[in-house]
Amino acid sequence: MSQNTLLRLIPYLNCLFLVFLVYVIVSVVLLLNPPSAKESQQPETNNATIPLPAAAAAKSWQAPDSTRIPQTAEGDRIRYGRELVAHTAVYLGPEGKVRSISNGMNCQNCHLHAGKKFFGNNYSGVASMYPKFRARSGTVETVQKRVNDCIERSLNGMRLEDDSEEMKAFVAYILWVGSEVPRGEYPKGAGIIDLPFLGRPASPPLGRIVYDAQCVRCHGANGEGKRERGTVEWTYPPLFGKNSFNIGAGLFRLSRLAGYVKANMPYGVEHDKALLTDEQAWDVAAYITSLPRPVRKFPKDWPDIATKPFDHPFGPYADAFTENEHKYGPFGPMKTKKTK
């Protein structure tokens, strides 16, 4: 082979050498770092088959759009029910234009955004779950019974007749709010969140510090609430005192009030952007429930005392824990014992 021919082949030989060198390097890397089984099983082209992350795949409840309420007689009843929930005091309060049967709070003071706020004690699970057995009464309860429970306890009022137009409207609206939830399903975002237990009793004195820092500007130094002059509705409801919910209300249970506060307070907070810590929520709930409010006894509650929830603050009990422990905790030991 001539010298000129060799000179012309040198560039090609260099290229072949570089390709060979790259091949050797890649082979060594793969030998030392083989792809994981998970990586090797990923589909190459069909992205639609890749599972979504759990957060994206989970389907949460969304409140129905009120503009979709039908323009029918039933739609008119639903709209009246929404009005009753949002402005209960106007129709059924001490100066109500229909009846005078309640303390002046609105249903939406506890069931935020007319019962449509995510983790705001909403109505999303009512249509899918009722009628249902409830241990508190020891009976199968209707939606009407549940509405009257709220009126008698949270509104410290008097029952509505099942066949009254107001009761029919309440029921129509509440069922409409959860009308898209499949039967038997309790949707994500319904009711009130469950907070992790504290390792100590909840503290009213520590809760007072939280209350003074975060709650006074809306609910007042004495929990009296705030109402605009010349109106019959509370802009911010009373949290204790004669105009607040009585001791039979669900929010008088510490776990319920603490979860409600954590996800929604100060007003305007969203459940996934909480301002208060879990400890602060427990403590401020303890402070609120430690102060005077209307006393109204419901002697038929919890006919089977073994089914009383861990934070029901009135005996008798099926365990040896005291009323004070059942009111403030720590709840972990009693929940563990109850489970056993």
The distance from CA 140 to its chain's CA centroid, rounded to whole angstroms, is 24
User: Rounded distance, CA 239 to CA 260, Å?
Assistant: 13
For residue 24, what pLDDT is reported? 42
What SS3 string covers the chain?
A: CCHHHHHHHHHHHHHHHHHHHHHHHHHHHHHHCCCCHHHHCCCCCCHHHCCCCHHHHCCCCCCCCHHHCCCCHHHHHHHHHHHHHHCHHHHHCCCCCCCCCCCCCCHHHCCHHHHCCCCCCECCCHHHHCCEEECCCCEEECHHHHHHHHHHHCCCCCCCCCCCHHHHHHHHHHHHHCCCCCCCCCCCCCECCCCCCCCCCCCHHHHHHHHHHHCHHHHCCCCCCECCCCCCCCCECCCCCCCCCCCCCHHHCHHHHHHHHHHHCCCCCCHHHCCCCHHHHHHHHHHHHHCCCCCCCCCCCCCCHHHCCCCCCCCCCCCCCCHHHHHHCCCHHHHHHHHC
Residue in 180, 187, 207 with CA at minimum distance from that of residue 279: 207
Which residues fall within 8 angstroms of residue 126, CB to CB, at 6 or more apart?
Answer: 143, 146, 174, 175, 177, 178
For residue 59, what pLDDT is reported? 56
The Cβ of residue 230 has, within 10 Å, a number of other Cβ atoms equal to 5
> Exposed (0-12), middle (13-18) or buried (19+): which is 269, by Cβ within 10 Å?
middle
Q: Residues 74, 81: contact at Cβ < 8 Å? A: no
The Cβ of residue 53 has, within 10 Å, a number of other Cβ atoms equal to 7
Question: Is the C-alpha dihedral spanning 200, 201, 202, 208 positive or negative?
Answer: negative
Could you list the pLDDT tens digit for every one of the 340 residues in the chain? 444 444 444 444 444 444 444 444 434 334 444 433 333 333 322 322 223 233 333 357 899 999 999 999 999 999 999 999 999 999 999 999 999 999 999 999 999 999 999 999 999 999 999 999 999 999 999 999 999 999 999 999 999 999 999 999 999 999 999 999 999 999 999 999 999 999 999 999 999 999 999 999 999 999 999 998 889 999 999 999 999 999 999 999 999 999 999 999 999 999 999 999 999 999 999 999 999 999 999 999 999 999 999 999 999 999 999 999 999 999 999 888 777 6
User: How do strand 139-141 and strand 132-134 relate by DSSP bridges?
Assistant: antiparallel
- Domains 66-177 and 204-334 belong to one CATH topology: yes
User: Helices 204-214 and 278-290 meet at what angle, rounded to 10?
Assistant: 100
User: Rounded distance, CA 196 to CA 97, Å?
Assistant: 43
User: Rounded distance, CA 338 to CA 308, Å?
Assistant: 10
Q: Please give the CATH number for the structural domain made up of 66-177.
A: 1.10.760.10
Q: Please give the CATH number for the structural domain made up of 204-334.
A: 1.10.760.10
Domain ranges of the chain: 66-177, 204-334
Is the model's pTM score more than 0.85?
no
